[in-house]
Chains A and B, each alone.
Chain A
Amino acid sequence: MYLDMSGNTQSKRVEKSSPDRSLVPPCQAVCPLHMDIREYVDLLAQGRTMEALHVIRNGNPFPAICAYVCTHPCEEACRRGEVDKPIAIRALKRFAVEFGGDRMMQVEARTEHCEKVAIIGSGPAGLACAYYLRKLGYPVTVFEAHSELGGMLRIGIPQYRLPREVLDTEVQRLTQMGVEIRTNTRVVSLELLFDIGYKAIFVTIGAHQSLRMGIEGEESPGVIDGATFLREVNLGLKPSLGERVGVVGGGNVAIDAARTAVRLGARSVNILYRRSRDEMPADSVEIEQAEEEGIEILFLVTPTRVKRENGQLNVTCIKMELGEPDASGRRQPVPIRDSAFSKEFDALITAIGQSPQTPEDFRLRIGRGSIIQVDPITLTTNRTGVFAGGDAVTGPATVTQALATGRLAASRIDDYLQHRYPLASSAERESPIGHLLPETIETIRKIGRLEPPTLAAEARAEDFAPVELAYDWESATNEARRCLRCGIGAEILFQDKCATCLTCIRVCPYHVPYVDASGTIQIPSDQCQACGICVAECPAKAIVLRKPHDRRHITEELDHILRSAAESKSKPVIVGFCCQYGLFGTGTLARFWRGAKAGVWIVPVLCIAKVEANHILRAFEAGAEGVFIAGCGEQCSRENTAYWVRQRVAKVRSTLEQIGLERERVQAFVLGDSSDDLVNELDRFTDQIGALYLTSVILEEVKS
């Protein structure tokens, strides 16, 4: 028998012209590294952790570090937050790093250029720059004044937030790549570096100088600045603080210092912050965790005088109230008259900000706040061949911002050394998609956010063990499944094919498509939830999903399975389309997969709503004796998916009858549908198909 495979010309047109038309999701748009968050979260939802880690590593030189300390602006931008709560993106990245085999990853680099590059400072910006320059093939040397690499990562961030092994692993990887490392080497002159053959220099010396409060008694013994305190602790010293510790400030350094003090044995720790909780710049989770550890935050309080008496610090404080917003947009604290009171501490840690301290001999142009002035696009300084970035340029900022600057610096230095005009990255030209409409939000299934587990508060004070723990497999999958997959929804690819039949409008569970004033159907990309129902139901086949992978996925998986089934020669063949998201997330489907008997071939699909009637028939054409579809039903993150699957099953059943096959050969299994165990139901189905197959074989023999 010969059947023409080339007939389906119009569908081929879709396959051939499949550019990636997906739009930038908000998480990616705000990420300083512009990471493909949507992609790796989706891979995690499918249980493909190693691939997720690959995506993460593509966009981030040190994902393990970010997995612990990133301030996750992506979560603030996440549109899931408009529905219920944002996806726990950083915790998911942590899961990928822990379970995806990050430790096994090798990064290789070859020297392809002869121009040597010097990097002064080994903080996140310096390390990232070294990583990318090395990947581009440059010989790179990192100079570090301290005895170990990492900059603020090592001497600023406490161990309970970033375990040192994680940092060491990443540093180790740089060494493997062939980055030359010179610790205990303070650079005093840039000329010297040029003289010994470096063609470009990246200055990334950080912001280590604590700002002074400018109050009387600040120099008293027992008063220490936050940066120095954290540095001493992180380098292994154990400063004695006494029992009562005060911390001045409301940023992450203040919280870090306070929580470190708790771990050093302080009995009572008070944070004095001059504004209220809403204005506090520290991460809200960190603040919560600090309070869990018994730290008390005194809001609207500022110290005005410190006096040392009998080995104690007598700190005079004054109460504040909030006035008009200032330049930063936060409400300015105003002292309240006659509200002074005093507090007794054994030690006072000041953490009200830091600034860079650039050596005079670098002869770099310095701006307000002691920061190095650079061109924001090229990162060049006033000196030829000298680039600068990181906290030294921006003032204290986040690790992720520093990594992004490091990456940018690497490409700018590459441009400079190769005499290329620096081009703006494509990321800067993209515009992120808009907000969800209230009508859309209403129809989206609410699914609570799963927070990663944390160490019990009582257990934390004992040592510097990491406070946050990693997800287990099922929680990670379920958290990732909440992703709305912004910007990869459906679109009408061929407006000329669209018959304006309104099917998409009628089937969309989120009421997204609409008819515009000119009578054309529009599917707004910023509202579509990418469930795929309209794609399968469109009678003109005019609608496609924006991501090419989503368009081909089922056909490719099915072909692969059918080939394997044909090779195995075992009979009868039963093909099952099973939701890949449900495999790890629901538990039940996992048992379903594992519990399937021999002869059952599973085609993993990214939601059963995308399985079309044609796919089911394809399996029968290739010799399957039975086909079933198994989906998550009430546990699905999308709406109405099971309903449309049943519609298609009904259609195929009636077709099968007309061909002379039993309608029972197609079956839909949906979680929550039946009181009986799904695995038992599948067993019954398998037995039934086996019986039908036997009957047909016997009938054949009788006939012949």
Chain B
Amino acid sequence: MIVAQEKPLAEIRRMIDRYERVLILGCGTCMTVCGAGGEREVSYLHEVLRVAQARGGNGTHTVSEYTVKRQCDPEFLELLVDRVGDVDAVLSLGCGIGVQAIAERFPEIPVLPGVNTSFMGMAKEQGVWDERCAACGDCRLEETAGICPITRCTKGILNGPCAGTKNGKCEANKDMDCAWVLIYQRLERQGQLEKMRRYYPPRNFRTIARPKRIVSKANIDAGGDDA
């Protein structure tokens, strides 16, 4: 799941400053799950802006709110046509993908990001999320016992641990587990310590072209497939 965090209020207020009619647009999928941009946060931000206006006195906005099931799919955005027609800007509480999807669908309307999309991760407990995946496109979790050194090691090194590990913790943050110690412990439990002794060459990031695109259907119309 994609995890994000609310932007500071000052930044949001600065962004919307020049627009009179603003639609706060939530997303009903990842942003709801990570608590940054679901319907409750949309309604909270709406209320916050009203308090800010009532107490701060500057700026006049007509704020409306809505939450779509998923901002990153064009079909869902069709539901927004009427609402977006009435506003000067959309403040999206979707992730960076959602913001861009809306920008793409509504070329005339300024779209503002209401959250900072932070990482792909999972919930540790209620209200706490941890990063787990960097979407590098070349998954090595088989070799590292299901623990990703690219996201979970501060240095992202492929041949760890480094000399900065101490009592199983990272030198950069004493509260953070050293990913390579975790990898070692898991491999030891599974009797696969030989994987630790192997050398992993540096990754060639040049082979990973951006932006990436995945096509999972056969190109039948062009006759390029053996179907």
- Residues of A participating in the B interface, judged by any CB pair closer than 8 Å: 1-4, 6-11, 496-497, 499-503, 506-507, 538-541, 613-614, 617-618, 620-623, 655, 658-661
Contact = CB atoms under 8 A, between A and B. Distances in A.
B55 A503 contact: no
B200 interface: no
B55 A4 contact: no
B43 A8 contact: yes
Interface string B26-39: 00110011010011
19 contacts: A1-B54, A1-B57, A3-B62, A4-B63, A9-B64, A499-B28, A499-B32, A500-B33, A539-B35, A539-B39, A540-B40, A541-B39, A541-B43, A617-B50, A621-B51, A622-B54, A660-B55, A660-B56, A661-B55
Contact of B44 (A497, A613, A623): A613
Interface in B141-177: none
Contacts of B123: 502
Contacts, number: 102
B52 interface: yes
A614 B126 CA distance: 20
B88 interface: no
Given A1-B54, A7-B65, 10 more contacts: A2-B60, A2-B62, A8-B46, A499-B29, A539-B35, A539-B39, A540-B67, A541-B43, A617-B48, A655-B51
B126 A503 contact: yes
Nearest to A619: B51
B137 interface: no
Nearest to B67: A10
Nearest to B41: A539
* 6 interchain residue pairs of minimum CB distance: A7-B64, A539-B38, A658-B9, A506-B126, A501-B33, A499-B32
Q: Kindly state the interface size class of chain B when it binds its partner.
A: 35 or more
B28 A9 contact: no
A497 B38 CA distance: 10
Interface in B57-112: 57, 60-67, 69
B53 A1 contact: yes
B108 to A, nearest CB: 21
A519 to B, nearest CB: 14
A499 B40 contact: no
B47 A614 contact: yes
A3 B40 contact: no
B9 A655 contact: yes
A501 B46 contact: no
A7 B41 contact: no
Contacts of B28: 497, 499, 540
A501 B62 CA distance: 31
A614 B40 CA distance: 9
Interface-centre pick from A9, A496, A621 (highest chain B CB count, 10 A): A621
A8 B54 contact: no
Nearest to A507: B126
Given A7-B46, A503-B126, A617 B66 contact: no
A660 B35 CA distance: 24
B125 interface: yes
B87 to A, nearest CB: 10
A501 B126 contact: no
B10 interface: yes
A621 B9 contact: no
Contacts of A11: 43
Contacts of A8: 43, 46, 65
A565 to B, nearest CB: 14
Contacts of B48: 617, 655, 659
Nearest to B9: A658
A1 B28 CA distance: 31
